[in-house]
Amino acid sequence: MTFIQGPGTLDGGDVLKLGRRIFVGRSGRSDEQGIEQLRAVAWPYGYTVTAVPARGGLHLKSAVTEAAPGVVLVNPAWMDAAALGHVSVIEIDPSEPYAANGLLVGGRLVYPESFPRTRARLEAAGVAVEPVDVSELQKAEGAVTCCSLVFAGFDGV
């Protein structure tokens, strides 16, 4: 097991994995030292680590998440999707600035039901959406990515 060593910092909310590519938002919670340490750990396993600016939201995943394989959901005011390379992009509805945070699990996007306009965009693009009520989490700036633990392959689950 490997840990980020201080003074370096790395917050999971700033880490977006797209296939073998890992993007890390530079923020108040993730710095160059933490990003470099992650790069050193991930490289031997065939992953690349790229630092990208994080702005607007609390974390990188406030601005962009994976909606389906090869597809990202992005708030373009907070993230330039061009930094992610070759991906398909679905932009959030501008009236729902916090709508870029979804959690892809088992081929479905666990997604807040409080963003109906963006949900319509996702569904129109063919993304399978599993709506959930996260209104209590949202009161504390929580979202599905930071308030979820996903286990796969554990005791047959």
Question: Could you list the active site residues?
Answer: 59, 146
User: Residues in the chain, how many?
Assistant: 157
Contact assessment for residue 72 and residue 64, using Cβ atoms and an 8 Å cutoff? yes
Of 23, 5, 95, whose CA–CA distance to 59 is shortest? 23
Q: What DSSP letter does each residue of 99-119 carry, written as one string?
A: TT--EEETTEEEEETT-HHHH
